[in-house]
Amino acid sequence: MSVAAVAIPEREKTSLPSGRLGMWWFLAGELVIFGGLIACYVLYRLKHADWAEHAAHVLWQAGAVNTIVLLTSSLTIVLAFRSVDEGNYKKAANQMALTIAIGFLFVVIKTFEYTHEIQAGITPKTNLFWSFYFLMTGLHALHVVAGLVAIAVVMIGVRKGQNLQRVEYVGLYWHLVDVIWIFLFPLLYIASG
Amino acid sequence: MTSPDLAVEHKEPGFIGKYLFSLDHKMIAKQYLLTGLVMAVVGGYLAYVFRSQLAWPNQPVWGYGSVGPDKYNSLVTLHGTIMVFWVAMPVLLGGFGNFLIPLLIGADDMAFPRLNMMSYWVFLLSTVVLVASFFVPGGAAAGGWTFYPPLSGDPSYTGVTWGGHLWLLAVALEFVSVLMGGVNFLTTALNMRAKGMTLLRMPLMVWMQLCASVLFMLSVGPLVAGAVMLLLDRTVGTGFFMPKAGGDPLLYQHLFWFFGHPEVYVILLPGLGVLTEVIPAFARKTIFGYKAIVYSTLAAGALSFIVWAHHQFISGIDPRLAMPFSLTTIIISVPFSIVIFSLIATFWGASIEYSSAMLFAISMLAEFLVGGVTGIFNGSAAADIYLHDTYFVVAHFHYTLFPAAILAMFAGIYYWFPKMFGRKMSETLGKLHFWTTIVSFNVIFLPLFAIGTHGHHRRIYDPTQFDWLKPFQHLHVVATIATIVLLLAQIPFIVNFFRSMFAGEVADRNPWKATTLEWTAPSPPGHGNFDRPITVYRGPYEYSVPEATDDWLPQDAPA
């Protein structure tokens, strides 16, 4: 049964477009997942002073480089957003491609770290610190990979000048991934004692 | 057409597009509703099997066979899991939320129809995973519906390996599905309202669904993390919650109940939402204290985040923590009392029509009151130390969840059935269904309060093993016979539901003479819901208005 389309002239709505609003709710949900995980880690860490000697074995240099890498990719996605605003879709798509490349570099460095640790005999079972390390960075890395796929999908649209509002939404998600890393890096790599 | 998100698709979908991969919120709602009802039959069957074991220990159960202690644990675990996550949530949120939110606010569909479809398909996948867990070697999960480690943290402790993994996976998928639904509910209600539908003109059902979605979204995250950690403990062999590896099982309890207590309200609020629509329509009165109900609901939602440790009074938490959590628990009954008293006050001086929907709504209030009042015993730490994990607790939470999920669900189905299918359900069968359901329900759970106060622990599979429990065995028999009656009492409902769908009395747009917007749409509403533009001029419950020609004014009646 089909009723003829009715164009509803006006709606009561918030000042945010639906896509952005939906994205914020989604990010709020993500935030509590990582928030819960970080809270668990912090509570355990305060109880286990002995984790410091395990934490001393993380490759903090790799983590530091990765922090800079991920922050740079946040910059390029913002530049893409600005290029869309200016109507320069080709430039925007290129900036998104650059974001994907830098994000991929992050994953490569992370893989290098995991390889180094596993070759040294360190696995999630070694100690609770390493369980948290692999779980938190692994879950974050999954989010990075998901973000790379999402940016690629949006980029294909932008090249054709379609669904331009999605650049902002995928950018919001990418910032979240970035912010979570900003918490993980000090907690896992540079906290001692 | 001013912007792309207002476009209504003209294309008439084929069979697959209409019934399977539908983007229409009403069809998705029916998919959720039917899946939930099918799972209710599964959950009810499990209850029949383990209640039979309790009444007549170690006798083969008709339709199942002999139970045995390991299977008994699986049965109670899956009964609880299914009833909370696969019946209450899909029916109240997925079913009623999807069907009603766009209709009640005057929208043509959800804000994100594809996300909506995806949330149902993820839910269906979670259902398949859960049902499959019955048939894997070792059977279904047996760690209790709360799945506490260390019991659940190592498969060798319960003897169930794959059943437990699949249980965690199914629950995680179900959470993802509800999260996707919640994003949709919130965005739709905030951005898709018809002209004139201000926030404080929204029917209370929409407020309840919104509050439930926010509660779910903000509480489930830590448990998602906890579920992943527990799954790693079980599969990889990490020790997040295992004392032997330095982990802390108490942490899981905190994560579980930080979600688990708001979850009670995620179920309760939509149930109360059904009442806020049904009661004014059959009492022919505006609801008492609309704003008081809205603000109390928000207050209760906020408080629900700081009561969780009342589930853990005997788990070894710091005794200094028990007192504050006792206090917040007792404080949270204040906003809920305001809601309940407002609903009761709506009856004052009303001309009440005792339809099936109204009978279920009234009984939901009455039975929930019993659940709420017995909750005060559990919430007080001193009393809880004695009552914890007895049948008193079992009776208490069935007196809260059965009214909130099952009675409110029936009230809602009898009330909105004409809008869903264009035909009315039979009132005669409805009343038969009501009286048999409500009497047998009370006969099951009143005896359980009694045996609980005598100290009968809830997880004993054969009570006749203990001499001091033998005097209460006849109460187990009474409760089990009543369980069988309760299940048989659903036959009139099932007959009524499917017969009325095709042969019921044809309903017009507004069979109950109700005021909210769904009744201005055709029954059943077509694609795009409304056949004329909607503008809202007034609040949702304008019944018994003296100047109106009928005794009521719909929300879109011009001022």
Contact partners, residue A161, CB within 8 Å, separation at least 6: A89
Residue B89 CA to its chain's centroid (Å) = 5
B258-268 in b/e burial notation, b at 16+ Cβ within 10 A? bbbbbbbbbbb
CB neighbourhood size of B196 (10 A): 17
Which of B226, B237, B524 is nearest residue A125 as measured by Cβ atoms? Answer: B237
Asked if residue B150 has a cis previous peptide bond (ω within 30° of 0), the answer is yes
If you measure CA to CA, which chain B residue comes closest to A15? B191
Q: Which residues of B456-487 are buried (b: 16+ CB within 10 A; e: fewer)?
A: bebebbebeeeeebeebbebbebbbbbbbbbb
Q: How far is B180 from chain A (nearest CA, A)?
A: 8
With an 8 Å Cβ cutoff, are B526 and A48 in contact? no
Chain B residue with minimal CA distance to A130? Answer: B238
Nearest by Cα to B458 from B45, B77, B65: B77
**Hey, what are B365's tokens?**
């209030």
Minimal C-alpha gap between B216 and chain A (Å): 9
Q: H or E segment at B326? A: helix B319-346
Q: Looking at beta carbons, which residues of chain B come within 8 Å of A33?
A: 221-222, 224-225
Measure in Å the smallest separation between the Cα of B532 and chain A Cα atoms: 7
Residues on A contacting B at a C-beta cutoff of 8 Å: 1-14, 16-18, 21-22, 25-26, 28-37, 39-40, 43-44, 48, 124-125, 127-128, 131-132, 135, 139
Rounded to two decimals, the ipTM of the complex is 0.91
- pLDDT tens string, chain B, 559 residues long: the values are 334 444 444 556 777 777 888 899 999 999 999 999 999 999 999 999 999 999 999 999 999 999 988 899 999 999 999 999 999 999 999 999 999 999 999 999 999 999 999 999 999 999 999 999 999 999 999 999 999 999 999 999 989 999 999 999 999 999 999 999 999 999 999 999 999 999 999 999 999 999 999 999 999 999 999 999 999 999 999 999 999 888 999 999 999 999 999 999 999 999 999 999 999 999 999 999 999 999 999 999 999 999 999 999 888 888 888 889 999 998 999 999 999 999 999 999 999 999 999 999 999 999 999 999 998 898 888 899 999 999 999 999 999 999 999 999 999 999 999 999 999 999 999 999 999 999 999 999 999 999 999 999 999 999 999 999 999 999 999 999 999 999 999 999 999 999 999 999 999 999 999 999 999 999 999 988 999 889 999 999 999 988 888 889 999 998 7
User: Do A34 and B522 make contact, defined as CB atoms within 8 angstroms?
Assistant: no
Mean pLDDT of chain B: 93
Measured in angstroms, the CA of B334 and the nearest CA of chain A are apart by 28
Q: Average pLDDT, stretch A181-189? A: 95
Q: Which residues of A touch B237 (CB under 8 A)?
A: 125
Q: Which residues of A touch B220 (CB under 8 A)?
A: 29, 32
How far away is chain B from the Cα of A102, in angstroms, using its nearest Cα?
28
Task: Please tell me which residue of chain A has the smallest CA distance to B213.
Answer: A25
Whether residue B191 and residue A25 make contact (CB cut-off 8 A), yes or no, is: no
Of the candidates B326, B310, B334, B336, the one whose C-alpha atom is nearest the C-alpha of residue B211 is: B336
Q: Mind listing the pLDDT tens digit for each residue in B526-556?
A: 988 999 889 999 999 999 988 888 889 999 9
- Could you write out the three-class secondary structure of B361-406? HHHHHHHHHHHHHHHHHHHCHHHHHHHCCEHHHHHHHHHHHHHHHH
